[in-house]
Amino acid sequence: MMPGPDQARNARDAAPARARRGLWSRLSESQNGLGFLFMLPAAIFLLFFLTYPLGLGVWLGFTDTRIGREGVFIGLENYLWLFDDPVFWLTVFNTVFYTTIASVAKFGLGLWLALILNRHLPFKNFFRAIILLPWVVPTVLSAMAFWWIFDSQFSIISWSLMKMGLIDQPINFLGDPWTARWSVIAANVWRGIPFVAISLLAGLQTIPQSLNEAAAIDGATPWQRFRKVTLPLLTPIIAVVMTFSVLFTFTDFQLIYVLTRGGPVNATHLMATLSFQRAIPGGQLGEGAAIAVAMIPFLLAAILFSFFGLQRRKWQQGQD
């Protein structure tokens, strides 16, 4: 049959028909379109619950919004104001101090616990379960327990030390700036250790026993075994665990809010608590948002350091 006018007409008819079939059926037929469809709920969810609040926060930081009053764009004014605010700089110092000391302590103690739990111990499972307890208890609850432990009159620590005759009057744990700083750090460490210890324990268990045996035969002392075999192999996991731990600590809020509300004289005020205080009770939503946004560079720096400095190991990635 000759390619005649019939065919030409068919082709002409087909094009509008395809368009008419609509976006929906075209999407559901192509593989990419289908993939897009399936991703849509997750994308909307992420957009709505993560990106939107973040974007809103950043936007608020550039406005003079107060509770109950729409704000207008004021550029960097909030930030300039904060730059000259000694309380803000005190909270930056407090937050960095709190995060550094608490993270180092959590790492040290967590790794130590993980190493102990990785050995053959009687009641091993019992101890592993026990260790998770601080993490399972809601923060507010454990913070209240610490509140009692640190009470200026009834502290069990003061009481024990006094009974032992080491001190003669109760320690004012949360009343003095430096003891308060150390006290909240202690509470944070107690709460954060399980996460570090259990994650590192999981990491330790991925290291084959035969590597330790080979090292023992090669003449390694227990310390050398740890230093030259265990620790290097654990580094990637340490990097991930400690990044998370640093992020959690840097953004800590609950513990401080229950224990000290930032006092005494702002000595334990962290950026997160200050942000909340200025924004909600203080009503300055714009300024509170600016403080929160000011945390982002610190967090990004921590993530980048962990990713480029520790996580990417040549022996894992290959170098060719």
For other proteins, the binding residues in 150-209 under the rule CB under 8 A are 208
Smallest separation (angstroms) from other proteins to the CB of 318: 6
Rounded Cα–Cα distance for residues 99 and 286 (Å): 25
For other proteins, the binding residues in 257-316 under the rule CB under 8 A are 313-316
Nearest of 270, 243, 241, 240 to residue 254 by alpha carbon: 270
Nearest of 214, 290, 213, 295 to residue 247 by alpha carbon: 295
Position among 70, 84, 168, 320 found at the interface with other proteins (CB under 8 A): 320
- Per the DSSP assignment, residues forming a β-bridge with 73 are 63
Burial of residue 39 (CB within 10 Å: 0-12, 13-18, 19+) is exposed
Draw the binding track, 53-92, toward other proteins (x: CB under 8 A; -: no contact). Answer: ----------------------------------------
Rounded Cα–Cα distance for residues 320 and 314 (Å): 10
In the bound state with other proteins, the residue whose beta carbon lies nearer, of 32 and 317, is: 317
The answer to whether 200 touches 131, Cβ cutoff 8 Å, is no
Smallest separation (angstroms) from other proteins to the CB of 124: 16
In the bound state with other proteins, the residue whose beta carbon lies nearer, of 168 and 320, is: 320
For other proteins, the binding residues in 208-237 under the rule CB under 8 A are 208, 210-211, 213-220, 224, 228-229, 232-233
Smallest separation (angstroms) from other proteins to the CB of 220: 5
How many residues would you count in the chain?
A: 320
In the bound state with other proteins, the residue whose beta carbon lies nearer, of 87 and 216, is: 216
In the bound state with other proteins, the residue whose beta carbon lies nearer, of 27 and 220, is: 220
Smallest separation (angstroms) from other proteins to the CB of 235: 8
Question: CA dist 153 to 167, 171, 196, 199, Å?
Answer: 14, 8, 33, 38
Rounded Cα–Cα distance for residues 269 and 87 (Å): 9
Smallest separation (angstroms) from other proteins to the CB of 226: 13
The sign of the CA dihedral 306, 308, 312, 314 is negative
Number of neighbouring beta carbons within 10 Å of residue 250: 21
DSSP state of 208: -
Contacts with other proteins: how many residues (CB under 8 A)?
A: 23
Smallest separation (angstroms) from other proteins to the CB of 237: 13
In the bound state with other proteins, the residue whose beta carbon lies nearer, of 53 and 222, is: 222
Smallest separation (angstroms) from other proteins to the CB of 232: 4
Positions in the binding site for other proteins (CB under 8 A): 208, 210-211, 213-220, 224, 228-229, 232-233, 313-316, 318-320
